[in-house]
Amino acid sequence: MKKTVIALAALIINLQAACVRIDCEPSVNMAVINFQTTLQQSTQEINSKLNTLDKNYEAYNTALINNNKLYDENIKLKAEYLLILKQINHTMAMNKNEIKE
């Protein structure tokens, strides 16, 4: 996209230079200037949309990283929970054996 804009900008510069050299009619000069203005406006709009996309991509990546961290933390908590549950079951079994004796 940027290469296209650069190529179009170079084309406009060449058109303007050619118009000066061959003394184009004012309407041709005006058409080149209008084209340049339109290109500049379009470029600004495209850059604005690209900046928005970049921000959205950064936000998505941040959310994904945070989600992965939460997932990892969840796995650790589940492992701790299972260990505690195992200890509780073991303690209950020992208490049950002590009561029988």
Q: Domain range for residue 89?
A: 2-100
Q: Are 28 and 19 in contact (CB under 8 A)?
A: yes
The larger pLDDT score, comparing residue 73 to residue 29, is at 73
16 C-beta neighbours (distance < 10 Å), count: 15
32 C-beta neighbours (distance < 10 Å), count: 19
Pinpoint the alpha helices (H) of the chain. 2-22, 26-100
Domain count across the chain: 1
Name the least confident of 4-8, 54-58, 72-76, 90-94. Answer: 4-8
Q: What is the pLDDT of residue 21?
A: 67
Output the pTM of the full model. Answer: 0.56
Query: pLDDT-based confidence at 79, cuts 50/70/90?
Result: very high
